[in-house]
Structure 1
Amino acid sequence: MNVDLEFVSEHAGRSAAELTRRDVARALLAVPSGQALVCLPDLRREMSTAGNPLSAPFWDSAKAALTGIESGAATVGDVQRWLEATGTEPILITRGRFVWPDEGERGPVASELYDLLVTHLEEHVTRGDIDPDRLAAGDHEAREVYEEVQDRWLRTALPDGRLPGALVDEELNEGLFAAWDEEEAFALSELNRVLADLPEPGLPLADLEAAAARLRVLLGEPGYPASVLRACAGFDDGPLPESDIELWLIVAAGIASPLSDLEEDDEDDHRFWDLESELSAEDAALAALCTIHHADWLAAVVELARRGPGVLASPERIARFVAESEDIDVDMDDPEDLEMTESLFAAVTPLWERLGIVDEHAVLTPLGWWGLPKALERAWSAR
């Protein structure tokens, strides 16, 4: 395929006179880098003849970027940075912490607003507010202006009153929630299917009452693990459920499907964006709980329910249950996957011990055998 002016115009959907640096860059990236490099000089001459020569810094940056790609030295970030240096490519992650979905994952709203932002940036380039040549040269001040223009646009209402950043986030969240609900419904159906063939454990009432009594005291304490358990259960400052069964099941279900975040001051919100800082024990534990997949919970709980009280339920053993599950199709061919599952469940077993699901040796108790399947069913049902 020849990367000529006709190809670039067709790829961008614009005439030669209307083509921008972004249009040319995206067309060059649409073909193998070696092919694009060979065609680059001829394309530059064609653009000049058509009265739209662009600039020498752009063509130099294009050659450097394509050479880096061809040699394997350029990273995905390098290529994205080059695209952004055209002056009209939206930044994927802005200073204001807004994240654009990947191109193939954008819904109708995100696609529309992305195109509107491109047009907005083109207007700023035309007026001279954004200088692509300085961006290509890595000028810090030019980059600051470029980023601020986008952050301001995302926070400013459109003529029809819509707020761009909020609309994209809303659409993305709706899609994520829909996919999550579908996965959860499937996991619940699989749980019920497998448990239907297993005996129904009896309720160890004395163990439950003792665990609930300890839990009521624990939930009133500051710090970890009380703070994590309160967040999992969605408890605020209101009274706890009077029923011991209800209290225990709510908290146990919350470990598998946390209902709220930790209570933190707004000024501490930056901790998740500071890649150099370490998360607290509370943050790390809750993050781990939210990361465990439905399939992993399903495989672990089903295997524990099948084996019954006395089985070791340490993080290492649970990771092995998940990897070797015959009921649930979990892809764990990479040893790192096994290590990751083990590290995630390392946040679970200490909380289970506080509920009496496992003992101090991480061995499943009669209470855990009775309650874990019920807690998982509750977590995946409407609560």
Structure 2
Amino acid sequence: MDFVCAQAGRPATALTRRDVARALLAVPSGVALVALPDLRRAMMAAGNPLSLAFWDSAKATLSSIEAGVATVGDVQRWVESTGTEPILMTPSYFVWPEEDERGPVASEMFARLVAYLEERVAAGEIDPDALAAGDPDARSAYEELQERWLGAALPDGRVPGFAVSDEQDEELFAAWDEEEAFALSELRRILAELPKQPEVPVAALDAAATRLRALLALPGYPANVLRACAGFGDRPVPDDDMELWLSVAAGIAGPISDLSDGEDVLEEFTDLDGDLSEEDAALANLCAIQHADWLAGVAALVRLGPGVLASPERMARLIAESEDIDIDEQDEDDLDATEGLFESVVSLWRLLGVVDDDEVLTPLGWWGLPKALERAWSPAQE
């Protein structure tokens, strides 16, 4: 009993089903099963007996855990059936962060919801015994109650569901910015250590920019992907050749926007069994490549210099063998996945003259790839 009270931070008379369930799950299932009868008697002696349905459900769940047949979902569902545990994922797909991953806002809102549910149990609006018995109507009402709470404004004006989601977004963006800043610093370190700095091949850049301007004026793939990568849907195409080329090359490493709405076709959304279009697949591949993979691949190419093979398969090998990043040992499936992502990259690189028709790195690519990565990872100018 002392352990349960300490875990919950409440006296025995105020313990809820959720408090007891969480305490039981905090120890090995065998230990919890042995302690269950004594705990039940202690709760009765404290004047807080809970209910037979709860104790039966606790015994059944702990027995399933001990037998190795209970799933994570089974256990989560049991805790939720206590009537005061927020649903991990609501019908509208709001998902609470794991307990050890909650920020201050998520922790506050979670605690507020627990308190709200305790009030509703005390008022008789939630029937924990019906939840424990698996009553579908009780479960549906429980879910709807939480959905309404998540979408209703608090006295201070905050909407819990939005507040938690906004905090998660901020944390995600902060982690992304940190990863990007580290990759940029490593890129600059690697470039500074090169025995010879790449020089801009002016003639090759002029020729590539001329071809690129003509390509960007065309409809469909690959022009639409290159425009989206560079963000040319929201701003004009630069007049300066170097600015144009670097904008597109940087966009391949960090796409700025999505395809314009006008290029989405209704049939593509209704055909759920169909494959992604070529442009959607290309953008998805570009967005799936991690900073570390870009860093490892481009660093290897820059060190090796013009004339090195830069095919998708070779890029996957260079990344797997890189000493610039911490990476687990790659099996064939991992290599195949990386190769698949770089299929889109290399095909677009070819259009920019980064590689030639044989997928060999050109002097333009040797000069331009590190410049493009540096641009993609540098903070946007205000």
Higher mean alpha-carbon deviation, 243-252 vs 48-57, is at 48-57
Residues 322-376 of structure 1, C-alpha deviations (whole Å, 9 max, x = no match): 1211233333355544343333323322222232222343322222111101001
The 5 Å alignment of 1:125-136 reads 125-136=121-132
Query: Contact 1:231–1:261 (CA<8 Å) still a contact in 2?
Result: yes
Distance 2:273 2:77 in 1: 22
2:371 aligns with 374
Residues 41-60 of structure 1, C-alpha deviations (whole Å, 9 max, x = no match): 22222223323222233222
User: What is the one-letter code of the residue matched to 2:207?
Assistant: A
2:189 aligns with 193
Cα 1:216–1:328, aligned 2, differ >3 Å: closer, same or farther?
same
The 5 Å alignment of 1:59-70 reads 59-70=55-66
Distance 1:284 1:140 in 2: 41
The 5 Å alignment of 1:54-133 reads 54-133=50-129
Distance 2:228 2:91 in 1: 29
For the aligned residue pairs, the C-alpha RMSD in angstroms reads 2.8
Cα 1:117–1:193, aligned 2, differ >3 Å: closer, same or farther?
same
1:205 aligns with 202
SS of the aligned residue for 2:178 comes to: helix
The 5 Å alignment of 1:270-281 reads 279-281=276-278
Alignment: residue pair count = 376
User: What is the one-letter code of the residue matched to 1:71?
Assistant: A
SS of the aligned residue for 1:175 comes to: helix
Distance 2:211 2:140 in 1: 55
Deviation at 1:119, TM superposition (A): 1.0
Residue of structure 2 aligned with 1:245, choices 242, 247, 253:
242
SS of the aligned residue for 1:346 comes to: helix
SS of the aligned residue for 1:348 comes to: helix
1:143 aligns with 139
2:303 aligns with 306
Deviation at 1:96, TM superposition (A): 2.5
Cα 1:311–1:137, aligned 2, differ >3 Å: closer, same or farther?
farther
Cα 1:169–1:53, aligned 2, differ >3 Å: closer, same or farther?
same
User: What is the one-letter code of the residue matched to 1:17?
Assistant: T
User: What is the one-letter code of the residue matched to 1:352?
Assistant: W
Residue of structure 1 aligned with 2:346, choices 328, 349, 370:
349
Residue of structure 1 aligned with 2:7, choices 11, 34, 57:
11
Is structure 2 residue 70 aligned with structure 1 residue 48? no
Residue of structure 2 aligned with 1:235, choices 232, 235, 239:
232
Cα 1:95–1:227, aligned 2, differ >3 Å: closer, same or farther?
farther
Deviation at 1:108, TM superposition (A): 1.4
Cα 1:350–1:61, aligned 2, differ >3 Å: closer, same or farther?
farther
Query: Contact 1:332–1:338 (CA<8 Å) still a contact in 2?
Result: no
User: What is the one-letter code of the residue matched to 1:84?
Assistant: E
Distance 1:225 1:94 in 2: 40
2:327 aligns with 330
Deviation at 1:89, TM superposition (A): 1.5
Cα 1:130–1:339, aligned 2, differ >3 Å: closer, same or farther?
farther
Distance 1:263 1:121 in 2: 44
Extract unaligned runs of 5+ from structure 1.
none
The 5 Å alignment of 1:272-291 reads 279-291=276-288
What is the identity percentage for the equivalent residue pairs of Structure 1 and Structure 2? 68
Is structure 2 residue 12 aligned with structure 1 residue 22? no
Distance 1:54 1:278 in 2: 54
Higher mean alpha-carbon deviation, 372-381 vs 149-158, is at 149-158
Deviation at 1:92, TM superposition (A): 2.4
User: What is the one-letter code of the residue matched to 2:132?
Assistant: A
Distance 1:356 1:245 in 2: 13
User: What is the one-letter code of the residue matched to 1:359?
Assistant: D
Compute the TM-score of the two structures, normalised by the length of structure 2.
Answer: 0.88
Query: Contact 2:82–2:128 (CA<8 Å) still a contact in 1?
Result: yes
Distance 1:279 1:307 in 2: 35
Residues 180-222 of structure 1, C-alpha deviations (whole Å, 9 max, x = no match): 2222222111111111122222323333233333333443445
The 5 Å alignment of 1:170-181 reads 170-181=166-177
Query: Contact 1:9–1:19 (CA<8 Å) still a contact in 2?
Result: yes
Is structure 2 residue 159 aligned with structure 1 residue 163? yes
Compute the TM-score of the two structures, normalised by the length of structure 1.
Answer: 0.88
2:255 aligns with 258
Distance 1:268 1:10 in 2: 59
Distance 1:72 1:345 in 2: 42
